[in-house]
């Protein structure tokens, strides 16, 4: 795969560095492992859910962190002692460590997580601050005094 140099975006667009950073992060995330498999669902207008198949992991072996607009899910299997070694004829359940990162949109917050039947469900919700929501401006005529004070 070709690498794309995004440095011209940083030089040319003032105030759009966040967009260039998102594109840069997306190109890096393409190299991520596809393990464990996951689904991303839209549950409502501003509600989402990530479901990850983490068979063989218990809650103490899973770690969920958010930093800025990045959600990181890690699975760290505890090392087994030599005296408790198991011999597998076939091992189809992967018990390997993983780390998966998701880029979250602006104002998307993690509401909680639950582990049930080998599936890790992470609830997400977009909360747009009141100041950034669209608002309707009533047209009542222009008051000349308001224009002079502005």
Give the integer Cα–Cα distance in Å for 119 and 19. Answer: 33
pTM of full prediction above 0.95 = no
Give the integer Cα–Cα distance in Å for 145 and 115. Answer: 61
pLDDT the model gives residue 17: 57
pLDDT the model gives residue 48: 94
Contacts of 21 (CB under 8 A, 6+ apart): none
How far are the Cα atoms of 55, 57, 98, 100 from residue 94, in angstroms, in the given order? 8, 10, 10, 15
pLDDT the model gives residue 131: 81
Give residue 127's Cα distance to chain centre: 15
pLDDT the model gives residue 150: 57
Fold of the CATH domain 34-80+88-129: Immunoglobulin-like (2.60.40)
- Is residue 19 within 8 Å of 13, Cβ to Cβ? yes
pLDDT in 10s for each residue of the chain, 150 residues: 566 666 665 555 555 556 666 666 666 655 667 789 999 999 988 899 999 999 889 999 999 999 988 999 999 987 665 556 778 888 887 778 999 999 888 889 999 999 999 999 999 998 888 887 788 877 776 666 666 665
Instruction: Name the segment(s) of the chain with CATH classification 2.60.40.790.
Output: 34-80+88-129
How far are the Cα atoms of 45, 69, 76, 103, 143 from residue 106, in angstroms, in the given order? 15, 7, 29, 10, 37
Region of residue 118 (phi > 0: left; psi between -120 and 50: alpha; otherwise: beta): left
Residues in the chain: 150
Q: In what order do the strands lie in the sheet with 70-75?
A: 62-67, 70-75, 98-103
């Amino acid at each position: 795969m070709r690498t794309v140099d995004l440095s011209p975006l940083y030089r040319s667009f003032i105030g759009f560095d966040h967009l260039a950073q998102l594109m840069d992060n997306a190109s890096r995330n393409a190299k991520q492992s596809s393990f464990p498999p996951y689904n991303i669902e839209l549950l409502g207008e501003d509600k989402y859910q990530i479901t990850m198949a983490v068979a063989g992991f218990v809650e103490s072996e899973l770690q969920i962190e958010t930093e800025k607009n990045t959600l990181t899910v890690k699975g760290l299997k505890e090392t087994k002692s030599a005296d408790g070694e198991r011999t597998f004829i076939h091992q189809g359940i992967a018990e390997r460590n993983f780390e998966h990162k998701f880029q979250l949109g602006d104002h998307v917050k993690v509401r909680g997580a639950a582990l049930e039947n080998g599936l890790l469900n992470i609830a997400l919700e977009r909360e747009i601050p009141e100041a950034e929501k669209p608002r309707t401006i009533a047209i009542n005529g222009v008051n000349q005094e308001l224009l002079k004070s502005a």
